[in-house]
A and B are shown apart, each in its own frame.
Chain A
Amino acid sequence: MPQSVINDIVSAPPAHNGRISFARLDGTETLTLAELYERAGRVASGLRRMGIAPGDRIGILAANCLEWVLLDLAALRLKAETAGFEPGKFRPDAELLARYDIKLLFSDRPSEASGVVPVAEVRLLSEQHDDEPLPVVHYGPQDTTTVKFTSGSTGTPKGLAVTAGSIDSSLHAVQEIFAHRPGDDLFVFLPLSLLQQRYWIYSALRHGHDVTISTYEAAFATLGRVRPTVVMGVPAFFETAKRHIESRARRATAASCPEDAVKEAARRLFGDRIRYLWTGSAPARAAMLRFFDEAGLPIYEGYGLNETCIVTKNHPGASRAGSVGKVLAGKQVLIDEDGVISVRSDHPVNRRYAYAAPGDSERVFGADGTVRTGDLGHLDEDGFLFIRGRADDVIVLDNGKKVIVRPIEEQMKSDPAIAECVLFCPAQTDLVAVVSPAALPADTEAIAARLADTNAGAEPDERIRRVVVAREPFSIDNGLLTSQFKPKRKQILAAYEREIHDIKEGIHAA
């Protein structure tokens, strides 16, 4: 493997002109990456004065900002660990510090708890000089730099300490296929608590491109102004952008043809320098991917879990519609006889969870760090991976027939009246769907029509018998969507158990 990125970026200031910008609703602050390195060093000195030593762990619970990045890089410089907590999902209280062994927690939320420091103080630390040099640090491949948390659909988030070797391996593999370089500006707006979003800062420090860190709220407002070359997003973000572009294109009257109007509206939203759009974290709809490709903004879907990091990725040199790309260097995809995917890594993220219920680690990790993903898929003859669904999304009927629910759910969801669709099989014979309406009151006529269409093209065992329309759309607030906008099956089943089992309930198939 080439020289370690992590060791590279902690050992010397960058010798290039790359810049980092922080975009908020009220403006943008830009500094050179060399200045960022310098200020992170001062924050490291400040942390040391506050009693942070190698091996200690600091927590960060804050919206995206300069201070977040300074803390992350400062911890790397001290060989202290970080734990990034997603705002809104965690509270800055004593229980959080105790549960995850946090020595100091930096937060932009008010807290009276001992050990919680206002994140704004980090800016002051970055301006204070300290003559005592920082220790020289070196990371071995097995050393861990941070703890990340699964955004799982149930229970307390599981913690996973991440090895420096896995970060280096992923960064090298991504660089090999996308060749980020001076002149590029990578746009990041998803929470920095997600380690992958911090990868692009490490990449900028190493490779000399620019990176822009936006707050979530400022993302759409600043895109056109920043004019990035790459946007790091998720399907929900690009779906929203697609609807906006379509709506603007419909309203445009000056354009000579609809295709040009779409391209112009897309340029207005994303700026005029886009080299490509990155999507991951959740499955993307084929129609959305096609839309951006046709609008002149190439979009590349990939595949990976928290436990594996990035496993496959479409990219300019190798992309195939419907697939999630070829396997990255350093990863191996293993598919068992049932079609269930496991991932082996030269440098595993880890071999077990740091914080999880007994048995959780053993269920997911093999002894060598191989991860059982629970996803179903196949590799085509050219090595492109296709995901068909999750193994636990397979319903086995009493006649032995296995039904993969995701394609059926996707077909229902393609109706504008339906925001989400989740299938259940209460009696092992008939499929019952719970549909989250796109708005209230639900358009039951449209839902019934979509039910009829879906069933018309399906095998008899794959037909939906009834549709239960949810009382209100699934949302993060009502606990029926994850923070990545994925439906929480168990909670949905619990919320609508009576209706799912009552054969008189819902819209019945003809």
Chain B
Amino acid sequence: MQPDTETAVRENLSAVLTTEIAPEDLDPDLDMAGSYGLTSLNKVLFLTSVCEETGVDLGHFTEHDLAGMRTLRDVAAALSRYTDKAV
């Protein structure tokens, strides 16, 4: 994962969760819905925010792509494809 993107993903996921979990304590391979209680609406808002912050156009993704992003690592990998630096 690209460090800057991963940091942005961690911070934005942490911000949207209803319970305080520090960005660095988030496990990148856990299912965000099952383990962190991320609701579908929260997920949409989290992805919107992280795209805005990393300068990635959310329009690169389809509604189907979003459904497939289940872990923090999935999100970071998807975003990394569109950020400036290569993975």
Q: Which residues does A use to contact B, with CB under 8 Å?
A: 24-27, 63, 215-221, 236-237, 240-241, 243-244, 247, 416-417, 419, 436-440, 443, 472-473, 475-477, 485
Q: Tell me the complex Cα distance, A504–B85, Å.
A: 56
Q: Is B42 positioned at the interface, with any CB of A under 8 Å from its CB?
A: yes
- Quote the shortest CB–CB distance from A501 to chain B (angstroms): 26
Q: Is B22 positioned at the interface, with any CB of A under 8 Å from its CB?
A: no
Residue of A nearest to B20 (CB): A416
A247-B15, A416-B18 known; A472+B44 contact, CB < 8 A: no
Q: Return chain A residues, CB-CB under 8 Å to B42.
A: 240, 243
A220-B45, A236-B39 known; A243+B62 contact, CB < 8 A: no
- Quote the shortest CB–CB distance from A31 to chain B (angstroms): 20
Residue of A nearest to B51 (CB): A221
Asked if B63 contacts A63 (CB within 8 A), the reply is yes
Q: Tell me the complex Cα distance, A217–B59, Å.
A: 11
A220-B45, A221-B48 known; A439+B19 contact, CB < 8 A: yes
A26-B62, A217-B44, A473-B37 known; A244+B49 contact, CB < 8 A: yes
Asked if B44 contacts A216 (CB within 8 A), the reply is yes
Q: Tell me the complex Cα distance, A438–B42, Å.
A: 13
Q: Which residues does B use to contact A, with CB under 8 Å?
A: 15-21, 33-37, 39-42, 44-45, 48-49, 51, 58-59, 61-63, 66-67
Q: Return chain B residues, CB-CB under 8 Å to A476.
A: 40
Q: Return chain A residues, CB-CB under 8 Å to B35.
A: 439-440
Residue of B nearest to A218 (CB): B63
Asked if A217 contacts B63 (CB within 8 A), the reply is yes
Q: Tell me which of A24, A236, A417 contacts B41 (CB under 8 A).
A: A236
- Quote the shortest CB–CB distance from B78 to chain A (angstroms): 13
A-B contact pairs, 12 of them (CB 8 A): A216-B40, A217-B66, A218-B58, A236-B39, A240-B39, A416-B20, A439-B37, A473-B34, A475-B39, A476-B40, A477-B34, A485-B39
- Quote the shortest CB–CB distance from B19 to chain A (angstroms): 4
Asked if A438 contacts B18 (CB within 8 A), the reply is yes
Asked if B37 contacts A438 (CB within 8 A), the reply is yes
A25-B58, A219-B44 known; A440+B15 contact, CB < 8 A: no
Asked if B37 contacts A25 (CB within 8 A), the reply is no
Q: Tell me the complex Cα distance, A477–B40, Å.
A: 11
Q: Tell me which of B21, B41, B49, B63 contacts A439 (CB under 8 A).
A: B21
Most chain B CB within a 10 A radius of its CB, from A24, A216, A219, A240: A240
Q: Tell me the complex Cα distance, A437–B36, Å.
A: 9
Q: Tell me which of A25, A438, A477 contacts B17 (CB under 8 A).
A: A438
Q: Tell me the complex Cα distance, A397–B30, Å.
A: 42
8 closest pairs, A vs B, by CB?
A: A439-B19, A438-B19, A473-B37, A438-B18, A217-B63, A220-B48, A247-B15, A240-B41
Chain A facing B: main interface SS: loop
Residue of B nearest to A244 (CB): B45
- Quote the shortest CB–CB distance from B44 to chain A (angstroms): 5
Asked if A472 contacts B19 (CB within 8 A), the reply is no
Chain B facing A: main interface SS: helix
Q: Return chain A residues, CB-CB under 8 Å to B41.
A: 236-237, 240
Q: Return chain B residues, CB-CB under 8 Å to A63.
A: 63
Asked if A221 contacts B58 (CB within 8 A), the reply is yes
Asked if A247 contacts B37 (CB within 8 A), the reply is no
Q: Tell me the complex Cα distance, A219–B51, Å.
A: 14
Residue of B nearest to A243 (CB): B16
Asked if B33 contacts A475 (CB within 8 A), the reply is yes
- Quote the shortest CB–CB distance from B87 to chain A (angstroms): 22
Q: Tell me the complex Cα distance, A437–B17, Å.
A: 12
Residue of B nearest to A475 (CB): B33
Q: Return chain B residues, CB-CB under 8 Å to A215.
A: 63
Asked if A241 contacts B45 (CB within 8 A), the reply is yes
Most chain B CB within a 10 A radius of its CB, from A26, A217, A419: A217
Residue of A nearest to B46 (CB): A244
Q: Return chain B residues, CB-CB under 8 Å to A216.
A: 40, 44, 63
- Quote the shortest CB–CB distance from A281 to chain B (angstroms): 13
Q: Return chain B residues, CB-CB under 8 Å to A241.
A: 45
Given A221-B48, A476-B40, A477-B33, 7 extra CB contacts under 8 A: A24-B63, A63-B63, A216-B40, A221-B58, A240-B39, A244-B45, A419-B18
Q: Return chain A residues, CB-CB under 8 Å to B34.
A: 472-473, 475, 477
Q: Return chain B residues, CB-CB under 8 Å to A419.
A: 18, 37
Asked if A439 contacts B66 (CB within 8 A), the reply is no
- Quote the shortest CB–CB distance from A439 to chain B (angstroms): 4
Q: Tell me the complex Cα distance, A83–B39, Å.
A: 27
Q: Return chain B residues, CB-CB under 8 Å to A219.
A: 44
Q: Tell me the complex Cα distance, A314–B62, Å.
A: 37
Q: Tell me which of A218, A220, A439 contacts B18 (CB under 8 A).
A: A439
Q: Return chain B residues, CB-CB under 8 Å to A237.
A: 41
Q: Return chain B residues, CB-CB under 8 Å to A244.
A: 15-16, 45, 49
